[in-house]
Chain A
Amino acid sequence: EIVLMQSPGTLSLSPGERATLSCRASQHISGSYLAWYQQKPGQAPRLLIYGASSRATGTPDRFSGSGSGTDFTLTISRLEPEDFAVYYCQQYNGSSWTFGQGTKVEIK
């Protein structure tokens, strides 16, 4: 099973600042089968990025994904008030899917 480690666990930032979230895999992820989700309290997760760097329909362009192999990054260029939430990375290896433990982006 591929394990995903997200860092940091919590990111304390102010609106307007840049957020950089990391996701590191225990093994190579092929085909850039890496996605990012946002989840707010009491809500369902929302797909932001798939294929490591493709924005899902409706994802604002302040969100960008990058990386390959075992190291991936989600960047939020300028935090808006609605961006404070928990973010998860997720991988697929052909027969199973796993999520990272999440990064909480909180208001400083």
Chain B
Amino acid sequence: EVQLLESGGGLVQPGGSLRLSCAASGFTFITYAMSWVRRAPGKGLEWVSTAGGTTYYADSVKGRFTISRDSSRNTLYLQMNSLRAEDTAVYYCAKGGDNLSYFDFWGQGTLVTVSS
């Protein structure tokens, strides 16, 4: 059974940093692309970043967020720097499907609140 468990969310001041983690199990981690998707309060889903053979970022986070993965720990990370109020959201870890085009399993999410 595929399981994705996010951690690392919390309250941080504007301009601060936070690192999210996603522990994966139930599949061969190295084989699949992994992504972060967020949902801000009262808004829809927004793709943030994907790590496969290459890393990809949404324009809204490029230069501030860094995605990485540790295959020895089956863990995905998102280092978030220079955080802004508009980064406040629930951040979901998602596993890529058999091609890169969709996300077939999701974690329950971790809440990041950027506020002074």
Contact = CB atoms under 8 A, between A and B. Distances in A.
B32 interface: no
Contact of A50 (B50, B97, B105): B97
Interface residues of A, number: 27
Contact of B46 (A31, A43, A56, A99): A99
Contacts of B85: none
Interface stretch (B8-16, B19-27, B64-72, B106-114): B106-114
B100 A102 contact: no
B44 A44 contact: no
B29 interface: no
B88 interface: no
B contact patch SS = strand
Scoring A35, A39, A43, A47 by chain B CB atoms within 10 A of each residue's CB, the highest score goes to A47
Interface string B47-65: 1001000001011000000
Interface residues of B, number: 24
Contacts of A47: 97, 102-105
Given A50-B97, A95-B56, A96-B56, A45 B45 contact: yes
Interface in A34-76: 35, 37, 39, 43-47, 50-51, 56
Nearest to A30: B101
Contact of A56 (B45, B47, B94, B104): B104
Nearest to B43: A101
A28 B107 CA distance: 30
A11 B58 CA distance: 30
Contact of B44 (A1, A33, A88, A95): A88
